[in-house]
Amino acid sequence: MMIGGWQIVALRDARGPFLDWAAGFPDAGEREWASARAADPAAFGADGKWWLDFRAYAIRAADGRVTLVDAGIGPATAPARAWAPVPGRLPEAMAEAGIDPADVGTVVLTHLHTDHCGWAVDPDGTPVFPNARYVVQHAETKWLAAAEPMYSWAVRPLRDAGQLDEITGESVVLRTSSGESVTLVPTPGHTPGHQSVIVQSGDAQLIVTGDVLVHAVQLVAPSVSYVYEEDQRQARDTRTNLLARARDAGAVLATPHLSEPFTVL
């Protein structure tokens, strides 16, 4: 997908079944489910399970600089193994797209759930992307208890390596000489320090949402909550606002968990 001079590459780390869909979104009604099924039929497994992709995105600038948004479920021993179909294949997907880990200048971690940081570091704690600063909201690292597996897997090693950049609020990651930009915006609710990424070129815009919405049912009905949102009310407000903003801007959505990588509203 091109947005002006930006190339946005969808990188599928894995696909697999998770919860029974009705259990994940208990306040969705028949009408919402019918719309969601029409929007993303592949999410509804014959086994009654919610089938989902686990996806990262690379944003490649015309000069070759790469910003990676999220880092997948990770290898077989990563913390996501408790529930996600590890091992992922993000390194292979990046190689297929012609992206060398050394080309990545920035890794944006939308949040610190285990399915978004698995490939941030090797199992021995070495950062996978040697030249990258890893950008996360300070509110997110503050929220993540030191006892959580993702703390010892990624946060502490990245901090020790001097590669973790803990920011607060909106922040421009890249701006080109022609005024194109990649900007981080706080989108709390799913987790306290969740952030999304706005890719802008003139009037053209793409939003890498992160987990502001995790299923098509939240695209067709933003008021529908997901059971694993830390603050469901805040998540609902964030989702409603971000989707309204996307509609106003005619933005393309890039979502980690829907079956199609790009959604044009």
| Interface with Zn ion (CB under 5 A) | 115, 211
User: Where does 157-213 show beta strands of DSSP type E?
Assistant: 164-167, 171-175, 181-186, 195-201, 204-208
Dihedral of the alpha carbons of 178, 261, 215, 225, in degrees to the nearest 10: -10
> Which tokens go with 114?
């285990």
Residue 115 or residue 229: which is nearer to Zn ion going by CB?
115
Query: Of 6 and 68, which has the nearer Cβ to Zn ion?
Result: 68
Q: Which is nearer to Zn ion, 143 or 176 (CB)?
A: 143
- Rounded Cα distance, 170 and 187, in Å: 10
CB of 255 to Zn ion, least distance (A): 10
Minimum Å distance from CB 54 to Zn ion?
Answer: 7
- Residue 148 makes CB contacts below 8 A (sequence gap 6+) with 112
In the complex, minimum distance from the CB of residue 256 to Zn ion, in angstroms, rounded to a whole number? 6
Structure token pair of residue 201 = 């070129």
| Residue number with CB closer to Zn ion (60 or 190) | 190
Rounded distance, CA 30 to CA 175, Å?
A: 44
State the nearest-atom distance from the C-beta of 139 to Zn ion, in Å: 18
